[in-house]
A and B are shown apart, each in its own frame.
Chain A
Amino acid sequence: MKEKGKPNWLQLLRVYGTVIAAILIVIGFSVLSPTSFATWDNAVNISRQISFLVIIAVGATLVMAIGEFDLSVGAMASLGGVFSAKLAVQGSPFWAVFLIPLGVAFGIGFINGWIVTRFRVLSFITTMAMGTILGGFTFWFTGGTTIFENIPESFRYLGQSEWLGIPVLSFVMILVTVIFWFVMANTAFGRRLYALGGNEAASRIAGINVHANKNLAFAICAALAALAGILMASRLGSAHPTGGNGLFLPAYAAAFLGMTTFKEGVPNIWGTFVGAAIIGILANGLTILEVPTFMQDVITGVIVISAVILQKLGRK
């Protein structure tokens, strides 16, 4: 029950705790390493590092909003990168290099959704298997090797160039975040996705087309995953057949951290952004402090669990 008048500190901590934690982390690193961490260059660097994670996590957030999971996002990102690099090597036009993989990913995501809605299979299993299938295809395309020869300069543009001293990647990340924040908060489509996640039976009775909306959420999620993979390949100037796989777990960690922020217990885009930022800042700061990688993993895991526990505390 809500009490009026008294500011409920626990409530505030629950809603903004993650943001406060992010600020504390930044302050902590700045104190510990004022010359390397707390610099403009490093801030720009962090924004570039987290751009892939933010984009893939935004997609995962959409699927979490409808109460499902897409575990194939990592494999989708790998496939997206490889597919796009392959097209670039073959000398396809600039637009085709990006739009064809995105379109294919959209279709694959739609199939994910179709299997889940049409046959009422758990999305957990469907997308896990789909991830395996995609991984197989990626290996088939590449023969298991990294694509790095004959990649045209134009392919690297998005990943490597800067506008006004800020990486294009960071602009793309902000654009994706703002667009999907707007979609989720201000459009009928976003409202319907949240309704489906809140109560599917009630949504159906309210006349919402359950299948179409869910399929679309899966499709968008897959397309964003592929976009992250393409940008990653563009950044590196090469595409590895498992290059995107490592984004999968951090993406969900970011989305879960995000659920503890702004809107209590509800997946939301800005929350996911903050979650991804925390993970990225931790990785960056701990590396600067020369904390070994295994310790970074331990710290990141502990922070995710703490945030989720904090959100449950005081909730009646």
Chain B
Amino acid sequence: MSLLQVRNLDKTFGQNYALSGVSLTIEAGEIHALVGENGAGKSTFIKLITGVYQPDGGDIFWQGEKVGIKNPRNARDLGISVIHQDRHLVPYFTGLENLYLGADYPKRKLWLGIRWDIMREEAEKLKVQLGIEVPLEKQAQDMSPTERTLLEILRAVRVGCKLLFLDEPTASLTDLETEILFRLLFRLKSQGTAIIYVSHRLDEVFRLAERITVLRNGQLAGTVIKDDVNKDSLIKLMAGREILSSDVKKEAEVNAEPFVLEVKGLRTVDKRVKEATFSLRKGEIVGIFGLAGAGRTELLEAIYGIRPNCRGEIRIKGKVLSKPSPAVSLQEGIVLIPEDRRGQALIMDMSIRENITLPVLKNYTARGIIAHTKELRDTEDCITELKIKANGAGQAVQALSGGNQQKVVFARALMSRPGLFLCDEPTQGVDVMTRSEIHRLLRNQAEQGGAVVYVSSDLEEMLEVAHRLVIMHDGETITEFAAKGLTQESVLQCCYYPRKESEPSIEGEG
């Protein structure tokens, strides 16, 4: 009898399948890796099994019995826990308090206080059982990332976890800390706990897992035994059918055109971008691709001036941008289409009109007073031109569909007659029609002398839209390709075997 069996799991968001017909079996005491590109459905899968989402189809069997996992609490009671990148700890609680978070504290008779001694004793026992050291008297906010991860695992084990999800657990760990974590995982496995390990780091996957499941576009690409595959065949499996970049696309003959944007050795203060160098000529669409956390969004934000940089140079049409800020950017004809439409682009309770004219309000004011008639007329033109489906310019943007909201974002961008678009996942969560309309709009802008930096996690889309691809890894631009004739596989190869390696690992030490 398997610990967990999943049959034909489906999950849709709107009309799109996030996960479709995924089947998977997990045995007790197994480390099972889950890999796939960004957006392949890994997170959705975790959320379905831990009760955050409800599946739209398919069955989940837990220890042979069919179950419906209604909420995270339900999952935890069954024995399923997840260790996330954004850790679920209360920052100003001590390790011990966090360990018992959401559980009943052992109490004295008649509720006269909490038995801290019992808690401490139990925690010590757990630490010995797992062979790890966690400073339980420290507040969570003072702990290192590893200590926090270990604490979370400790908590999962305390509540009788039988299946543990780890989602990119080593993203912020040093090699030495990774070793400590791995030793713990092997120990848990030997004690019969099953582990589903989600990671982009294939070396780790090969070290830990016996079996590897690959997801692709929300579907099961296959479950393989580690010894039957190597990194290359795994990448091939992730990339799927070979897709050449579309040949219809006119090859950009831009080598003689002047540079619109030149970025040299850019580094942000928070080091999310460490070393970015690339350039963009008039008429070009350049895609920036990288795995999650590679620093793509952060690079766009640094250019636009909302993420402070501390080194390097940004040139716009040859002129150095000495102090980037949104106001300066708009003046220089740079617009940003942010990834988070609701959080960063639109003011949801304001009307379409107010949203569209916000950055160019000074064009509609005389001595500070808004010329409503002119504003309304221009906004209505925008609505017609971009085919925004709305009741009128006065409708609040929160009443629009995702695709139409994104069109409002583009309408606003066009208002400032930009020469450079910085687009971050511009087609995320929009329908197919709008998606192709956005692509067409950006191509037109490029043909008419604009330039576009395009970030998307969808590699297929990037190959379709971009003339060139710049690859980022761990905050650095590592290489670039012409999109013509480029395959998904070769791009993924480059992402998983970055040329610029980080420090060598210190295996077997400590």
Chain A binder among B336-344, B431-439, B485-493: B336-344
Contact with A along B192-214 (1 / 0, CB 8 A): 00000000000000000000000
Q: Is B229 an interface residue (CB 8 A)?
A: no
A315 CB to closest chain B CB (Å) equals 12
Q: Does B350 contact A (CB under 8 A)?
A: yes
Q: A4, A201, A205, A265: which contacts B349 (Cβ < 8 A)?
A: A265
Residue-by-residue, is A174-197 near B (CB-CB < 8 Å gives 1, otherwise 0)? 000000000000111101101100
* B344 close to A188 (CB less than 8 A): no
Interface residue? B482 (CB, 8 A): no
Whether A207 and B327, one on each chain, are in contact in the complex, defined by CB atoms closer than 8 angstroms, is: yes
Q: A2-B391, A2-B395, A195-B358 are in contact. List 12 more A-B contacts (CB 8 A).
A: A188-B362, A188-B365, A188-B370, A191-B358, A198-B350, A199-B347, A202-B345, A204-B306, A205-B304, A205-B336, A205-B345, A209-B327
Some 11 contacts from A to B, beta carbons below 8 A apart, are A188-B369, A191-B361, A198-B347, A199-B348, A202-B343, A202-B344, A202-B345, A206-B358, A206-B412, A207-B326, A209-B327
Docked-complex contact A207 and B350, CB < 8 angstroms: no
Taking the complex as formed, is A142 at the interface, i.e. its CB lies under 8 A from any CB of chain B?
no
**Centre residue among B327, B336, B349, B372 by max chain A CB count within 10 A:** B349
Q: Per-residue CB proximity of B346-385 to A under 8 Å, as 1/0?
A: 1111100010001101101100111010000000000000
B254 within 8 Å of A by Cβ? no
Report B286 CB to chain A, min CB distance, Å: 21
Query: Quick check: is B399 within 8 A (CB to CB) of the other chain?
Result: yes
> Smallest CB-CB separation from B354: which chain A residue?
A191
Give the residues in chain B near A1, CB-CB below 8 Å.
399
* Contact between A208 and B365, CB atoms less than 8 A apart: no
Residue contact A198 to B348, C-beta cutoff 8 Å: yes
Chain A 1-34 near chain B by CB (<8 Å), digits 1 or 0: 1101000000000000000000000000000000
- Flag if B372 contacts A203 (CB, 8 Å): no
- With the chains together, A204 CA to B350 CA distance in Å? 16
A266 an interface residue at 8 Å Cβ cutoff?
A: yes
Contact A201:B343 (CB < 8 A) given known A207-B330, A209-B327: yes
Chain B contact residues, CB within 8 Å of chain A: 304, 306, 326-327, 329-330, 336, 338, 343-350, 354, 358-359, 361-362, 364-365, 368-370, 372, 391, 395, 399, 412
B-facing residues in A62-120 (Cβ within 8 Å): none
Given contacts A188-B361, A191-B361, A195-B354, are A202 and B347 in contact (CB under 8 A)?
Answer: yes
Contact of A204 with B370 in the complex, beta carbons under 8 Å: no
For A201, the chain B residues whose CB sits under 8 A away are 343-344
Closest chain A residue to B335, Cβ basis: A205
Closest residue of chain A to B357 (Cβ to Cβ) is: A191
Contact, CB under 8 Å: A186 / B370: yes
Contact residues in A for B364 (Cβ distance below 8 Å): 188
- Also in contact, A186 and B344, with CB within 8 A (given A191-B361, A205-B306): no
Q: Return chain B residues, CB-CB under 8 Å to A202.
A: 338, 343-347
Interface hub of A187, A188, A192, A204 (most chain B Cβ within 10 A) = A188
Minimum Cβ distance to chain B for residue A14 (Å): 14
Taking CB atoms and an 8 Å cut-off, the chain A residues in 274-299 that contact chain B are none
Closest residue to A185 on the B side, CB-wise?
A: B370
Chain B hits for A205, CB < 8 A = 304, 306, 326, 336, 338, 344-345
Which A residues are CB-close (under 8 A) to B350? 194-195, 198
User: With a CB–CB cut-off of 8 A, which chain A residues contact B362?
Assistant: 188
* A207 interface neighbour in B347, B359, B369, B370, Cβ under 8 Å: B359
Question: Most A CB atoms within 10 A — which of B326, B327, B372, B412?
Answer: B326
CB neighbours (8 Å) of A194 from chain B are 347, 350, 354
Chain A residues lying within 8 Å of B358, measured Cβ to Cβ, are 191, 195, 203, 206, 208
Query: Which residues of B have CB within 8 Å of A192?
Result: 361
User: With contacts A1-B399, A205-B338 known, is A195 near B368, CB below 8 A?
Assistant: no
Q: Is the CB of B399 within 8 A of A187?
A: no
Known: A186-B370, A188-B368. A198 touches B326 (CB 8 A): no
Interface 0/1 of A197-231, CB less than 8 Å to B: 01101111111110000000000000000000000
Give A202 to B370 CA distance when docked, in angstroms.
21
A209 contacts across to B, CB distance below 8 A:
327
Residues in A neighbouring B330, C-beta threshold 8 A: 207
- Please name all residues of chain A whose beta carbon is closer than 8 Å to the beta carbon of B354 when the two chains form the complex: 191, 194-195
Q: Which residues of A sit under 8 angstroms from B349, Cβ to Cβ? A: 198, 265-266
Closest Cβ of chain A: how far from B307's Cβ, in Å? 11
The CA of A265 and the CA of B350, in the complex, are separated in Å by: 11
Write out the residue numbers on chain B whose beta carbons fall within 8 Å of the beta carbon of A191: 354, 358, 361, 370
Q: Is A206's CB under 8 angstroms from B326's CB? A: yes
User: Are the CB atoms of B372 and A186 closer together than 8 Å?
Assistant: yes
| A4, A202, A266: residue with the most chain B Cβ atoms closer than 10 Å | A202
Residues of B within 8 A of A189 (CB): 368
User: Which residues from A are CB-within-8-Å of B365?
Assistant: 187-188
From residue A307, how far is it (CB to closest CB) to chain B in Å? 19
B326 pairs with A187, CB closer than 8 A: no
In the complex, A157→B347 CA distance in Å?
45
CB neighbours (8 Å) of A266 from chain B are 349
Residue among B329, B336, B345, B347 with the highest chain A CB neighbour number at 10 A: B347
- Write out the residue numbers on chain A whose beta carbons fall within 8 Å of the beta carbon of B304: 205
Contacts of A203 in B (CB 8 A): 347, 358
Smallest CB gap from A194: residue in B: B350
The 10 closest A-B pairs by CB, nearest first: A198-B347, A206-B359, A206-B358, A207-B327, A199-B347, A207-B326, A207-B330, A188-B361, A188-B365, A187-B368
**In whole angstroms, what is the CA distance A15 to B75 when docked?**
44
Most chain B beta-carbon neighbours within 10 Å: one of A1, A2, A201, A205:
A205
Expressed in whole angstroms, the Cα–Cα distance for A198 and B349 within the complex equals 7
Q: Given A1-B399, A195-B358, A198-B350, do A187 and B344 touch, yes or no (CB 8 Å)?
A: no
Residues of the B chain whose Cβ atoms lie less than 8 Å from the Cβ of A4? 391
Least CB distance, A182 to chain B, in whole angstroms: 8
Determine how close the nearest CB of chain B comes to the CB of A209; give it in whole angstroms: 7
In whole angstroms, how far apart are the Cα atoms of A194 and B353 in the complex? Answer: 14
| Chain B residue, CB-CB nearest to A182 | B369
* Nearest CB in chain B: distance from A93 CB, A: 31
B38 to chain A, nearest CB (A): 23
The residues of B that contact A206 with a CB separation of less than 8 Å are: 326, 358-359, 412
A51 to B361, CA, bound (A): 34
- As a 0/1 sequence over residues 148 to 171 of chain A, the CB contacts with chain B under 8 angstroms (1 = contact) are 000000000000000000000000
Query: Given the known A-B contacts A189-B368, A205-B338, are A199 and B343 also in contact in the complex, defined by CB atoms under 8 Å?
Result: yes
B499: min CB distance to chain A, Å: 33
Q: Report B-chain residues with C-beta under 8 Å of the C-beta of A208.
A: 326, 358-359
Do the beta carbons of B369 and A186 come within 8 Å of each other?
yes
Give the nearest-CB partner of A189 in chain B.
B368
Which residues of chain A are within 8 angstroms of B347 by Cβ–Cβ distance? 194-195, 198-199, 202-203
Contact residues in B for A198 (Cβ distance below 8 Å): 347-350
Report Cα–Cα, A13/B259, bound state, in Å. 58
**Residue in B343, B358, B372 whose Cβ sees the most chain A Cβ within 10 Å:** B358
B424 vs chain A, min Cβ distance (A): 11
Considering the complex, give the chain A residue whose CB is closest to the CB of B350: A198
Residues of B contacting A188 in the complex (Cβ-Cβ under 8 angstroms): 361-362, 364-365, 368-370
Q: How far is the CA of A206 from the CA of B331 in the complex (A)?
A: 11
